[in-house]
Amino acid sequence: MSEVSNVLNNDLKTTKELLSSSGYSDKAIQYYLDKKNMGVLDDATQVSELTGHCGDTMKIFLKIDDGIIRDAKIQVLGCPGAIAAAMAAMDMIKGKTLDDALKVTDRDIFRELEDIPDQKQHCIRLTNKIIEKAINDCKSGNGNSPKGE
């Protein structure tokens, strides 16, 4: 193994250990590390942004067609809790109607993550709030309103 990959593996191990000892489940850590829903959707039909009281900011990109969320990505400028919650939540709302996506609760996101530190519960709240905001923006025609809505 090269020196560079050794360093990277050690960094990864340290990050995992730190998050684990702070109270993040393995599943939440994986969401945080994979970041698979992080980024921009070029063909988004709804884009909304929200900054929480903590100063962390999220920008969500939804591709909505026929009232269904076909795809979802999100940019997160924030803590591991915010990133893990946002990645999980995007998976959870994909394929749902707008009304069903609005029914996703903080508790549902927490269950999907399995565990995050108590003081990070508001990161889940921020994630759910931006989903609600995007859907309400979309329904009221604020921002990039999707066709057929």
Task: Indicate the residue among 89 and 98 with the shorter CB distance to ligand FES.
Answer: 89
CA proximity to 38, closest of 104, 83, 95, 89: 83
Answer yes or no: 138 catalytic. Answer: no
Reduced to 3 DSSP states, what percent helix, strand and coil does the chain have, rounded to the nearest 5?
A: 50, 20, 30
Q: Count the neighbouring beta carbons within 10 Å of the beta carbon of residue 108.
A: 15
Binding flag, residue 60, ligand FES (CB under 6 A): no
> Can you say how many angstroms the Cα of residue 126 is from the centroid of all Cα atoms in its chain?
9
Site for ligand FES in 13-52 (CB under 6 A): 52
Answer yes or no: 54 catalytic. Answer: yes
Binding flag, residue 123, ligand FES (CB under 6 A): yes
Binding flag, residue 106, ligand FES (CB under 6 A): no
CA proximity to 93, closest of 120, 126, 70, 125: 70
Task: Indicate the residue among 42 and 118 with the shorter CB distance to ligand FES.
Answer: 118
Query: How crowded is the C-beta side of 76, counted as CA atoms within 13 Å?
Result: 27
**How many residues belong to the site for ligand FES (CB under 6 A)?**
10
Binding flag, residue 54, ligand FES (CB under 6 A): yes
Binding flag, residue 84, ligand FES (CB under 6 A): no
Active site residues: 54, 123
Sites of contact with ligand FES (CB under 6 A): 52, 54, 56, 78-79, 81-82, 120, 123, 126
